Structure 1
Amino acid sequence: MTSKPNTVVGTLESRLFINGRWRNAENDKTFQVYNPATGEVLTSVSDASAADGRAALDAAASAQRQWARTAPRVRSEILRSAFDAVTARAEEFATLITLEMGKPLAEARAEVTYGAEYLRWFAEEAVRIGGRYTTAPDGRTRLLVHKRPVGPSLLITPWNFPLAMATRKIAPAIAAGCTMILKPAALTPLTSLLLTNVLADAGVPAGVLNVVPTSTAGAVVSGLMTDSRLRKLSFTGSTEVGRRLLADSATQVLRTSMELGGNAPFLVFEDADIDAAVEGALQAKLRNMGEACTAANRFLVQESVADEFTDKLTQRMAAMVVGPGMSAGTHIGPLIDEESRAKVHELVENAVRGGAVVRTGGSPVDGPGYFYRPTVLADVEPDARLLREEIFGPVAPVVRFATEDQAVAAANNTEYGLVAYVYTKDTGRTLRLLEEIESGMLGINVGVVSNPAAPFGGVKQSGLGREGGTEGIDEYLETRYAGLSDPYA
C-alpha cells in the first residue's frame, strides 16, 4: 500500500545531522525542495554553510580513530540492520523518491530494492577485508601487507538516484571503517535525510556519518577540500564538475573516486533479436526518464534492420503514458526541473534543424510540472549535438551503420566511456566488442547493467575508480606494508 505523501514529508527530519544529532544550520537558513511533477514546494531543509561543513569534518575527524578500531563484525551488523530497516520501510522511501525526484512509483520501488542491496552487499564485504603474509624471495624478511581505512571521506551524491547513490558510497565507507560527510544534491536531499535517520537507528556512532544538505555547495565543499584532515573524495555527477574537483583535490593529494558523465552507445546488429533489442532499448533509455549516466544516448543500428528497429521502438515509445509519478499507470514522470527540460528540447531542435526526422514526441508537455514527450529521432546527422552531449531525457536518436568496424568507430567516438550496450547473437562478435569498445561496462543483450555485486565505473572522462562489487570497498582502503626480520635468523 502506498504511503501518504503528506505523512512521509511531514514527519521527516529536515535539519543537518552532525556528530550524532540533528541541528539547524549555523545561520538558521533553509532552502526549498520542490515536486517536479507540480512545481510546488514539498518542504524546506536546513541550508548548511561553510562553518557547518567544518563542524561536520570536526566530528568525522574526532570519530575516525575509534571507528577504524571497531570490529568488522560490528560494522557489518550495522549495515545489515540498516538493510532490514530500509526494506521494511520501502514504501516510505519509494514515495519520498517519487515526490522529490519525479520517477514513477514502480521505478522508485525498484530503486529502493537496488539501493538497499548495497547495504547488504557491503555488510558481507566488511568482514572480508584481507591482507597477506609472505616470505620475501630472498628469504631474509617476511612481507606483511594489510589494509586500513583511508580516513574521513567527503561523499557528494547526485539528484537522480537519491537513495542508491547514497548507499553506494555510505555502505563501503562504513564497511571499511571510514567516517563521512555526505553532501546530498540540493534538488533531492529528503531521501538522504530519511536514510540518515535509519542509519543512526541502526547503530552508526556519533560523528561517523554527518550530513550537510546545502544550496551553496561550492562554499561548503571548497572549505572541506583544503582541510588536511579530509583524506577521500567520492563524487558522482557531471564531468565538468568532476574536472574541477579533481583539480581541487590535488592540493591535499586526496584519494578520489569519480563517477562522471556518459554517452552510452546502444548497438543493434543485423543478427540481433529485434524485439529483445527494442525491449532492452526501452530499459536503457527510459529508466529514470533518461536521467541516468547509464542511459543509452546513441542508438547505432545496422542498416538492414534499422527500419524495423526504429518502427518498433517508435510504436513502443509513443504508447508510453506521461504523468506524475504518484499516478497509477504512469510510465514517464517529469524531468527534474525546467532548466533540464529546456536543455533536452534544445538538443532535439538542434538535431531537427540538421535534418533529423521526429518519429514521435519532440516537444514538452503543456501544463504544470516538467514533462517531456518520449521522442524517437531518425536520420540523425553525425554532427548533431545530442550525439556528443548527454541528453538526460527520454529522447532516442537512431543512427545507421553498415559494418562492424563502423559501429565500433562510432561507439568510441566520444570523450566518455561509462557503459555501452550491444545486441547480437554472434559469440565471436561479442568477444571482439568486449575488447574493442572503450567503456567501463558493457551490456550484452541486456538493457540494465547496474548491480551491487558488480564494479560500476567508467574509463576516459567518465571517471576514476569503481563502486560496488568486491572492488568497491578498496576505494575506501589504503594498502600498508611492513617488512619483518626473518624469525629464524
Structure 2
Amino acid sequence: MIDRVERELLIAGRWRPAAGGGTFVVENPATGQALCEVADATPADALAALDAADAAQRRWAAVPPRGRGEILRRAHDLLIERIDEFARLITLEMGKSLAESRAEVTYGAHYLRWFGEEAVRIDGTWKVSEDGTARVLVTRQPVGPCLLITPWNAPLAMPARKIGPAVAAGCTMVVKPAAQTPLTTAALAEVLREAGLPDGVLNIIPTTQAAAVTEPLLRDGRLRKLSFTGSTPVGRLLMAQAAGTVLRTSMELGGNAPFIVCQDAGVDAAVDGAMTAKLRNVGEACIAANRFHVHADVAEEFTEKLVARMGSIVVGAGTDPGTHMGPMIDDRQRSRVADLVSETVGAGARLRAGGEVPDGPGYFYPPTVLTDVPEGARISREEIFGPVAAIQTFTSEAEVLRAANDTEFGLVSYLYTRDLGRALRMVEQLETGMIGLNRGYVSDPSAPFGGMKQSGVGREGGATGIDEYLEQKYVAVDAGERV
C-alpha cells in the first residue's frame, strides 16, 4: 500500500508539492531506514490550506446532517474493508505490531461511525421566556474552520477522532499530522474523499516546521478552533498563542497514570490489566499506566507475575509473525526512556526485568520492571512513554490516594479492588478524567475521552464530543401581547 499513498500536501482537493519543493524522510522505526520522502509544508502552504478551508466552509455547513453522516459511514466501511492494508501502513511508519495496528484501524473507524450517527442528532431548544414576553430559541451551528494537530502514536485513530466530529458538525479542517507518521493520515484523507467528502473540507499539511507552520494560522481570524493532542508543554504554548484571537481550543495533553492494586484485588486480573495498560502501543500512549502503586501485602506476588509476563513478550519488527511488541518511534524517544531507567536504578531502584538497549538496527527497548523506586524519583513525576513499569508500595487507602493525586496531570487512573465500597470511595477521590476500574483499557468512541488539571481541556468522543465543534446561538423571538 505504501507505494500508493500520496506524499504531497492536500489543499483544496488537490495533492501538490510544498512551496519551494521541500521534502522530509519518513523512517521505519524497526530498521531505522527510510520508507519514503514526503512534502514538507511551509507557512505559505498552511495559509493556502486555510484559504481552502475558509472558502469551503459556508457550502459545507449547508450540507444536510444526513449527508455528512453518510460520508462518515461510507468512510468507516471502506476502512474496515481495507483493514489489513491500513494496519501494515501503520506498522511500517509507527512500529506497533500488526495485531495492534488492526485494532487501531477498527477503533479509528468506529469514531467515524459514531460521529456519523451523531450528525443527525445535533439539536436545539425552544421554550417560553421567564416573563412570558418572548420565545427562547437556541440553535447549534458549526464553529468554522479548524486546525487539528495529531500525534504520531496513533496515526489513524487520532486524526479520525478529530475529523469525525468536525465533519459531522459541518466544519472544514486543516490537519497537521506528526512528521514521524504522515502516511496513514494521507491514506485516511483519500478514503474520506472516496466516501464523498468535498474538495477543500479536509486539507493535510505534513511538516517538520510545526511551530513556524501553525503560528500564522493561530493569528488568522478566519481560524475558529484548535484541537491538539500531544505534550503538555506544547499544549501550553499553543493555548498562549490561541489567546490572541480568543480561539476556541480543545487539548488532550500528557498523562501520568497511576495503576493502583489494593490488597483485596485479584492479582492475576491486575497483572492482566497491567500488561494492557502498560504495553499497549509499546507504552507510547497518553493513557499508559505510568506509576504502579501496589499494596505491600500483594506487592511481591504482583511483581513476580508481572516480571514473568513481561519476560514472555516477543519483541521484534511489527510486521513479523508472532511479534507482541514492536520498536519505539525513534532513537530520541528510546534514549530518553533508557536514561530514565538508568537514573532510577542509580538512585536505588531494583531492576527486575529488561532495562538494556539491544544491539542491532531499529529502536527496540525491552519490557522493563523496576521496584523499590525512590520517593520523588523523576520516573514517577514524568510521563515515561515507554514499556517501563515502575512499582512502589503503599499500606493505606489515604496514602495511595495522596500519591496518585500528587501530580499536575489528571488524564486516567487504573484501580483494582474487589471491595465495592472502596471502589466507590476511591473513584470519587481520584483526580482524573477517566478511570479504569478493574480494567486496563478505557478508550471507547461512545465515551468522553479527556482529562483534568494539566492533562487537557474538553472531551473527544461520547455524546459530548461533537459539542467541541459547535457554537450555540440564542434567538429571542418577540411573542407580542397576549390576547
Shorter-normalised TM range? over 0.9
Q: Which residue does 1:312 correspond to in 2?
A: 305
Counterpart residue identity of residue 96, structure 1 = L
Task: Tell me whether 1:132 sits opposite 2:116 in the alignment.
Answer: no
Q: Which residue does 1:120 correspond to in 2?
A: 113
Task: Tell me whether 1:16 sits opposite 2:17 in the alignment.
Answer: no
Aligned 1:467-478 pairs, distance under 5 A: 467-478=460-471
Q: Which residue does 1:171 correspond to in 2?
A: 164
Please say if residues 133 and 481 of structure 2, whose CA atoms lie closer than 8 Å, have aligned partners that are also in contact.
no
Residue 44 of structure 2: which of 22, 46, 51 is its match? 51
| Partner deviation per Cα, 1:157-191 (whole Å, 9 max, x = no partner) | 00000000000000000000000000000000000
CA distance in structure 2 between the aligned counterparts of 1:469 and 1:366, rounded to whole angstroms: 44
Counterpart residue identity of residue 122, structure 1 = F
Counterpart residue identity of residue 29, structure 1 = G
Paired residue secondary structure (2:67)? helix
Residue 66 of structure 1: which of 36, 59, 62 is its match? 59
Q: Which residue does 2:427 correspond to in 1?
A: 434
Counterpart residue identity of residue 316, structure 2 = G
Q: Which residue does 2:394 correspond to in 1?
A: 401
CA distance in structure 1 between the aligned counterparts of 2:357 and 2:186, rounded to whole angstroms: 32
Compute the TM-score of the two structures, normalised by the length of structure 2. Answer: 0.99
Counterpart residue identity of residue 238, structure 1 = S
Q: Which residue does 2:154 correspond to in 1?
A: 161
Task: Tell me whether 1:78 sits opposite 2:71 in the alignment.
Answer: yes
Paired residue secondary structure (1:215)? coil
Counterpart residue identity of residue 351, structure 1 = T
Please say if residues 368 and 389 of structure 2, whose CA atoms lie closer than 8 Å, have aligned partners that are also in contact.
yes
Residue 332 of structure 2: which of 322, 333, 339 is its match? 339
| Partner deviation per Cα, 1:317-353 (whole Å, 9 max, x = no partner) | 0111111000111111100000000000111011101
| Partner deviation per Cα, 1:294-318 (whole Å, 9 max, x = no partner) | 0000000011000100010011001
Counterpart residue identity of residue 93, structure 1 = F
Residue 253 of structure 2: which of 237, 255, 260 is its match? 260
Q: How far does residue 488 in structure 1 lie from its aligned partner after superposition?
A: 5.6
Structure 2 gaps, min length 5: none
CA distance in structure 1 between the aligned counterparts of 2:287 and 2:421, rounded to whole angstroms: 25
Q: Which residue does 2:88 correspond to in 1?
A: 95
CA distance in structure 1 between the aligned counterparts of 2:370 and 2:480, rounded to whole angstroms: 71
Task: Tell me whether 1:384 sits opposite 2:372 in the alignment.
Answer: no
Please say if residues 133 and 480 of structure 2, whose CA atoms lie closer than 8 Å, have aligned partners that are also in contact.
no
Q: How far does residue 69 in structure 1 lie from its aligned partner after superposition?
A: 1.1
Counterpart residue identity of residue 437, structure 2 = I
Counterpart residue identity of residue 16, structure 1 = L
Q: Which residue does 2:342 correspond to in 1?
A: 349
Paired residue secondary structure (1:22)? strand
CA distance in structure 2 between the aligned counterparts of 1:348 and 1:383, rounded to whole angstroms: 14
Structure 1 gaps, min length 5: 1-7
CA distance in structure 2 between the aligned counterparts of 1:331 and 1:66, rounded to whole angstroms: 47
Which one is further off, 427-436 or 69-78? 427-436
CA distance in structure 2 between the aligned counterparts of 1:449 and 1:335, rounded to whole angstroms: 22
Q: How far does residue 487 in structure 1 lie from its aligned partner after superposition?
A: 5.2
Q: Which residue does 2:265 correspond to in 1?
A: 272
Task: Tell me whether 1:141 sits opposite 2:142 in the alignment.
Answer: no
CA distance in structure 2 between the aligned counterparts of 1:102 and 1:40, rounded to whole angstroms: 12
Q: How far does residue 11 in structure 1 lie from its aligned partner after superposition?
A: 1.4
Counterpart residue identity of residue 303, structure 2 = T
Q: How far does residue 88 in structure 1 lie from its aligned partner after superposition?
A: 0.6
> Matched residue pairs, number?
482
| Partner deviation per Cα, 1:127-164 (whole Å, 9 max, x = no partner) | 00010000012111110001010000000000000000
Paired residue secondary structure (1:251)? helix
CA distance in structure 2 between the aligned counterparts of 1:209 and 1:464, rounded to whole angstroms: 24
Counterpart residue identity of residue 228, structure 2 = F
Q: How far does residue 435 in structure 1 lie from its aligned partner after superposition?
A: 1.1
Q: Which runs of 4+ in 1 moved over 6 A?
A: none
Compute the TM-score of the two structures, normalised by the length of structure 1. Answer: 0.98
Q: How far does residue 378 in structure 1 lie from its aligned partner after superposition?
A: 0.7
Residue 411 of structure 1: which of 398, 404, 429 is its match? 404
Q: How far does residue 387 in structure 1 lie from its aligned partner after superposition?
A: 0.2
> What percent of counterpart residues are identical?
61
Counterpart residue identity of residue 28, structure 1 = G
Q: Which residue does 1:425 correspond to in 2?
A: 418
Please say if residues 13 and 200 of structure 2, whose CA atoms lie closer than 8 Å, have aligned partners that are also in contact.
yes
Please say if residues 264 and 417 of structure 2, whose CA atoms lie closer than 8 Å, have aligned partners that are also in contact.
yes
Residue 211 of structure 1: which of 204, 207, 214 is its match? 204
Q: Which residue does 2:102 correspond to in 1?
A: 109
Q: Which residue does 1:483 correspond to in 2?
A: 476
Distance change >3 Å, CA 312–CA 133, structure 1 → 2: same
Counterpart residue identity of residue 297, structure 1 = N
CA distance in structure 1 between the aligned counterparts of 2:59 and 2:416, rounded to whole angstroms: 50
Paired residue secondary structure (1:321)? coil
CA distance in structure 2 between the aligned counterparts of 1:190 and 1:488, rounded to whole angstroms: 63
Counterpart residue identity of residue 168, structure 1 = R
